[in-house]
Amino acid sequence: MTALTVQAEAEVAKWNMPVGVTEISREVHGLHMLIFWVVVAIGVGVFAAFFYSIWAHRRSRNPKPATFHESTTVEIVWTVLPFVILIAMAIPATGTLIKIEDSSDAEMSIKVTGYQWMWGYEYVGEDYSFYSRLDRDSDRARQVGSGIDPSSVDNYLLEVDNRLVVPTDTKIRFLLTSNDVIHAWWVPALGMKRDAIPGFINEMWARIDEPGVYRGQCAELCGRDHGFMPVVVEAVPPAEFEAWLAGKRGDEGSDTAASEPVQVAEADTGTATATDATEVAAADADADADADAEAEAPADDAASAELELAALMETGEKVYKTNCVACHQASGKGMPPAFPSLIGSAVVTGDPTTQIEQVLNGKNAMPPFGHLSDEQIAAVVTYTRNSWDNDSGVVQPADVAALRQ
Amino acid sequence: MRWVMTTNHKDLGTLYLVWAFTMFFVGGLMSLVIRGELFEPGLQFVDPEFFNQMTTMHALIMIFGGVMPAFTGLANWMVPMMVGCSDLALPRVNNWGFWILPFAFGMLLSTLFMDGGAPASGWTMYPPLVLQTGEAFPFLIFSIHLMGISSITGAINVVVTILNMRAPGMTLLKMPLFVWTWLITAYLLIAVMPVLAGAVTMLLTDRYFGTSFFTASGGGDPVMFQHIFWFFGHPEVYILILPAFGIVSTIIPTFARKTLFGYASMVYATAAIAFLSFIVWAHHMFTVGMPLAGELFFMFSTMLIAVPTGVKVFNWIATMWRGSMTFETPMLFALGFVFLFTIGGFSGLMLAIAPADFQYHDTYFVVAHFHYVLVPGAVFAILGAIYYWIPKWTGVMYNEKLGQFHFWWSAIWINVLFFPQHFLGLAGMPRRIPDYAVQFTDFNVISSIGAFAFFIGQFVFIWNMIQCMRGVGEPAPARPWEGAHGLEWTVPSPAPYHTFEEPPVVDDKEVAAHA
Ligand code: HEM
Ligand SMILES: [Cu+2]
């Protein structure tokens, strides 16, 4: 977002819950500190009695034990007193809870969809949506034995390829759902997390009052790459947001496809490093760059033209293991009826177009994989068509490129 | 053959305990894989999928293979001796109940070698994720069925024994608290294990027989599984702690040389906790998007649990108060329990506050909470109980120096291990992730060091116990602890293979209510 003013990142908390940038998060933080101090006060009292007793009532100091073993008064006191303390804590907690659940009068809505393993964002009624996944540098560094030092990667595991850009000072309603398993959408600075559940639409809201970049992660075990689906929210003043959104929509005009070219371009500049970031930044910057990128994508693919079966199979296996194995299994047998077997399946043995389209766009419970590069998709399609007992020919990146849009 | 066919409660008690410690060891090794991978950021040793398998298997093995059988082992040994009868009511069922376990866990562990690996969905087994398990799936379900059957047989045995076989004069309100807490635990088990069995069976039919209890595309509801699971799961967490309450209520009076303070309120508090445990389940799922009224109900009821739990802690401290305490190993573990379990209770109270739980949920803060109640809680109580009763079981005293060393070593490292996890959770580290952002490094390093050190220290305990079992050590008198009361101390050490074939005469000096 070089074209936009990027403000200071939210302060990183180390010992305590961060205060956050919404009214709710400040209230939640206040509640957290309130209970914390109540607990500390009770703890000091209880543990003082405990350690005093250990010290003063040890046998060498107090050889003759007392004989009392009951006191109705005392027992009533220490039943009633905690009640009173609890009620004192319940009152503010109830107030905050009521506020959290009141998402009326929202000024805009964003639909958040969890996928294994990325987030889909849609600006409801704005005709613009995109996917957001772990950024390339983190992704490379996090591979087993990558040899890359995580601390050399900026915001290791907490950066995405496409950030969710939102306006400040606006009541935003988030509609959460999922396309496969349960995920949870969580940005600590917003003071809330909520589950994204297939077949359901959950709700939460936030009004962010400081521009900045706020980071979080998926917080519900969702399979192999659960630890690798960060959430990055970039809050900008409303005017800037409007300009950004108009720019994003302006040239492409239509939904999902709009973001795709950017991602293809990024995926294909696979060797770009921090110093070589111009291209990525440009692709991200505004609508003009999007257009460039679109023009560029096929060119890149042309360069990688005809890939051999062996090369495709090798890449394909890797792509399969990361993206497909959870449902279709390493054996390709899937888990019918939910996840069909790929062995001898009509889609996998038939016209490659059908299969490429299904991988690109998804079908029923299968998520779309349009965010993968042409080469990756060609490789994985080739892999499934030539593994196990299948033998159905090679698919080239160019075939995939031709079917995008 | 004696050990295979035995129906003797003492033999089976020993088998259960040996089994539990084998499982603690296996589950412990898995936790070392987890802590090893989390030692520094980046993936060093294991694939993320295998990491998830480790967290899942670690939890299942520790809960169902470790803590629960250990408590059952203690019940086997002690319940008949405490209520003055010769054996459990259903000895043959007891034998079966034990021997189911190796099959259940053999099946569960064999999944590690299957296509697709072991289950990787967390011990909570939420669908739809759990339905993505590979060939391990039916093995997971059946092993859980077997564990459930084993627990239920054990529980029925305890209930029938306690209700029908007490020695004359041992009225309910004279029973030792360990017996009381086990009676209540047994009822919890009987009530909720079938619920778990039902839930996992529904998973099974969803996967293989085309039902859609939990699949949204067929009209099912994935959240319904969570409600059913936690209707089992919350009472389950009390199954994992109530017998520990009983143990601590036995040990503290002995070494304080003073009668337990508030015997009756201890019994009522235990019953109250058990009752409340059935109505608070959804506090594990505040983030699933319940209606406001539901969230308020579960928040208030959860907060209420702190009251009877508090009563227990206050009563233990009042028992110590103006006593004449000595600090042999069982007492050290009991005091360690009171102190550290209370910390776990405090974080539990924080978690109960729903708006704050939206932040804490599924982070390391929760991991720290439940490990404080489970390790220095349940496990410390089990260790204390073993030190306390081993002279009665083997006829020799354990090595006190090693026992004290074992306590201090464990108490120090368990805090190094789990305390920093509170900070990690508050700072935003989700649980069940194999790799983390670099700002979480410091506390993870400390935590991992604590884990390895804690683990190594347990060999001191194993060595000490093996010595006792081999009969090496000072011979133990019938009542090795000066302040101990209870029928078990009226028989010689080691306890004869058959005790109380003639019901004993219950002397008021030996009962908990007013010894
Ligand atoms: C004062 C008493 C207690 C209170 C108020 C309390 C409260 C809670 C709450 C609200 C949660 C859910 C946190 C979340 O997932 O966001 C939780 C989790 C948990 N608690 Fe407690 N708790 C208490 C005592 C115990 C005890 C005695 C045990 C077991 C020995 C226990 C074991 C657990 C476990 C295992 C979990 C995590 C389950 C999972 O998600 O895997 N708690 N507790
Ligand atoms: Cu997720």
B348 alpha carbon to ligand 1 midpoint, in Å? Answer: 6
Top mean-pLDDT range of A382-386, B211-215, B381-385 = B381-385
**Do residues B393 and B465 touch, judged by C-beta distance below 8 A?**
no
Active site residue B309: yes
Paired tokens of A239: 């005017």
Confidence of residue A8 (pLDDT cuts 50, 70, 90): very low
Candidates A226, A325, A327, partner chain B, best to mutate (most B CBs within 10 A):
A226
Assess: ipTM above 0.90.
yes
pLDDT band, residue A352 (cuts 50/70/90):
confident
Nearest residue in B to A94, CA atom: B296
Specify the residue with its C-alpha closest to ligand 1, atom 33. B370
CB B212 within 8 A of CB B220: yes
CB–CB of A225 and B48 under 8 A?
A: yes
Backbone angles phi and psi of A174, in degrees to 5: -100, 130
Catalytic residue at B10?
no
Ligand 1 pocket member B241 (CB < 6 A): yes
Give the whole-angstrom CA distance, residue B143 versus residue A280. 51
Q: Which of A179, A221, A225 to mutate to test the interface with B (most CBs of B within 10 A)?
A: A221
pLDDT at A12: 56
Which one of A181, A322, A325, A363 makes the best mutation probe of the B interface by having the most chain B beta carbons within 10 Å?
A181
Q: Evaluate whether A287 touches B92 at the Cβ level (below 8 Å).
A: no
Question: What number of other Cβ atoms are within 10 A of residue B279's Cβ?
Answer: 15
- The answer to which of B184-188, B217-221, B255-259 has the lowest mean pLDDT is B217-221
Q: What is the DSSP string of A288-323?
A: HHHHHHHHHHHHHHHHT-S--HHHHHHHHHHHHHHH
What pLDDT is recorded for position A304? 43
Q: What angle do CA A52, A55, A60 make, to 5 degrees?
A: 145
Nearest-by-Cβ selection for A193 from B221, B258, B358: B358
Rounded CA-CA distance A366/B113 in Å is 28
DSSP symbol at B379: I
**Separation of CA A222 and ligand 2 centre (Å):** 5
Residue linked to tokens 């959870």:
A326
Please indicate whether residue B227 is annotated as part of the active site: no
Q: Is the peptide bond before A238 cis (omega within 30 degrees of 0)?
A: no
Q: B330 pLDDT exceeds 80?
A: yes
B302 touches ligand 1 (CB under 6 Å): yes
Q: Give the nearest chain B residue to A141 (CA atoms).
A: B42
Ligand 1 centroid–CA B32 distance in Å is 23
Beta bridge partners of A160: A134
Q: Smallest Cβ distance to B42: which of A141, A222, A326?
A: A141
**Which pLDDT tens digit goes with each residue over B194-222?**
999 999 999 999 989 988 899 887 888 99
* C-alpha span between B45 and B50 (Å, rounded): 10
Q: Within 13 Å of residue A130, how many CA atoms lie on the same side as its CB? A: 22
Tell me how far apart the alpha carbons of residues B119 and B135 are, in angstroms, rounded to a whole number. 9
B362 pLDDT more than 90: yes
Q: Does residue A299 have a pLDDT over 70?
A: no
Active site includes B87?
yes
Stretch among A180-184, A216-220, A317-321 having the lowest mean pLDDT:
A317-321
B363–A219 C-beta distance less than 8 A: yes
Q: Which residues of A touch B34 (CB under 8 A)?
A: none
Task: Compute the distance between CA of residue B321 and CA of residue B267 in angstroms, rounded to an integer.
Answer: 20
> What average pLDDT does the structure give for chain A?
81
List B206, B236, B357, B488, catalytic entry? B236
Nearest CA to ligand 1 atom 41: B124
Q: Which of B71, B280, B373 to mutate to test the pocket of ligand 1 (most atoms within 8 A of CB)?
A: B373
- pLDDT band of B514, cuts 50, 70, 90: low
- Which residues from chain B sit within 8 angstroms of residue A78, using beta carbons? 310-311, 314
Cα A82 → chain centroid: 40
Phi, psi of B170 (to 5 degrees): -85, 80
How open is the CA angle B61-B64-B69, to the nearest 5 degrees?
Answer: 115
Q: Which helix (H) or strand (E) segment is B86 a member of?
A: none
**Mean pLDDT over each residue of chain B, to the nearest integer:** 93
* Cα–Cα distance, B147 to B101 (Å, whole number): 6
Name, in order, each residue with C-beta under 8 angstroms of B427's C-beta and a sequence gap of 6 or more.
Answer: A12, A13, A14, A15, A16, A17, A18, B439, B440
C-alpha A144 – ligand 2 centre gap (Å): 20
Cis peptide before B128 (omega within 30 of 0): yes
Q: Measure A371 CA to ligand 2 centroid, in angstroms.
A: 17
Name every residue whose Cβ is closer than 8 Å to that of residue B123 and which is 6 or more positions away in sequence.
Answer: B56, B59, B60, B63
Contact (CB<8Å) A219/B361: yes
Strand order through the sheet with A230-236: A164-167, A230-236, A212-217
In this prediction, residue B504 carries a pLDDT of 86
Beta-sheet pairing, A118-123 with A108-115: antiparallel
Q: Do B221 and A199 touch (CB under 8 A)?
A: yes
Q: How confident is the model at residue A306 (pLDDT cuts 50, 70, 90)?
A: low
> Does residue B305's CB lie within 6 angstroms of at least one atom of ligand 1?
yes
Chain mean position to CA B109? 20
Q: How far is residue B351's CA from residue A380's CA, in Å, rounded to a whole number?
A: 45
Q: How sure is the predictor about B157, in pLDDT bands with cuts at 50, 70 and 90?
A: very high
Is the CB of B377 within 6 Å of ligand 1? yes
Contact present, A195 and B287 (Cβ < 8 Å): yes
Cβ-contact B206, B215 below 8 angstroms:
yes
Q: A202-206 and A212-217 as β-strands: parallel, antiparallel, unpaired?
A: unpaired
- Annotated catalytic, B234? yes
Which residues of B are less than 8 Å from A42 in CB distance? 346
| Confidence (pLDDT) at B261 | 92
Contacts 24+ apart (CB under 8 A), B104-109: B104/B64, B104/B143, B104/B144, B104/B146, B104/B147, B104/B150, B105/B23, B105/B61, B105/B65, B105/B143, B107/B139, B107/B142, B107/B143, B107/B146, B108/B57, B108/B60, B108/B61, B108/B139, B108/B140, B108/B143, B109/B26, B109/B57
pLDDT at A405: 62
Cα–Cα nearest to B178, from B39, B385, B338: B385
- pLDDT, residue B513, reads 64
Strand pairing category for A118-123 and A128-132: antiparallel
Looking up tokens 């011990």 gives B123
Q: Residues for chain B: how many in total? A: 515
pLDDT bracket for residue B460 (50, 70, 90): very high
Which site among A80, A97, A104 would you substitute to test the B interface, given the most B Cβ atoms closer than 10 Å to its Cβ? A97
Q: Tell me if the bond preceding A117 is cis, omega within 30° of 0.
A: yes
The verdict on the CB of residue B370 being under 6 Å from ligand 1 is yes
DSSP lists the bridge partners of residue A363 as: A366
Report which protein residue has its CA nearest ligand 1's atom 32: B370
B433 vs A contacts (CB less than 8 Å): 217, 226-227
Rounded Cα distance between B389 and B10, Å, is 12
Residue of A31, A90, A98 with shortest CB distance to B292: A98
Pocket test for ligand 1, best of B351, B360, B374, B431 (most atoms within 8 A of CB): B351
Q: What is the pLDDT of residue A182?
A: 94
Residue A376 three-state SS: helix
Give residue-wise pLDDT tens across range A285-294.
Answer: 333 333 333 3
Average pLDDT over residues B313-340: 95
> Is residue A298 pLDDT above 50, yes or no?
no
Whether residue B226 contacts residue B288, with contact meaning beta carbons closer than 8 Å, is answered with yes
Helix H or strand E encompassing B267: helix B263-277
Taken in order B66, B68, B70, B73, is the CA torsion positive or negative? Answer: negative
Number of neighbouring beta carbons within 10 Å of residue A122: 18
Measured between alpha carbons, how far is B159 from B165 in angstroms, rounded to an integer?
A: 10
Q: Which residues of A touch B177 (CB under 8 A)?
A: none
CA distance B444 to B161: 47
User: Tell me: the pLDDT tens digits for B223-245?
Assistant: 999 999 999 999 999 999 999 99
Reduced to 3 states, what is the DSSP secondary structure of residue B115? Answer: coil
**Does ligand 1 have an atom closer than 6 angstroms to the CB of B240?**
yes
For a ligand 1 pocket test, name from B126, B236, B237 the mutation site with the most ligand atoms within 8 angstroms of its C-beta.
B237
Q: Which amino acid is at A332?
A: G
Beta strands A172-178 and A108-115: pairing type? parallel
Nearest CA to ligand 1 atom 29: B237
Looking at the CA of residue B233, tell me the nearest atom of ligand 1: 38
Residue reference for tokens 């070593």:
B409
Judged against a pLDDT cut of 90, whether residue B119 lies above it is answered with yes
Tell me the nearest-neighbour CA distance from B85 into chain A, angstroms: 28
Tell which atom from ligand 1 comes closest to the C-alpha of B303. Answer: 5
Question: Which ligand is located closest to the Cα atom of residue A221?
Answer: 2
- Do the chains contact at B129 and A224, CB–CB below 8 Å? no
- Ligand 1 contacts CB of residue B378 (under 6 A): yes
Catalytic site residue B263?
no
Nearest to A187 by CA among A160, A216, A220: A216
* pTM as predicted: 0.84
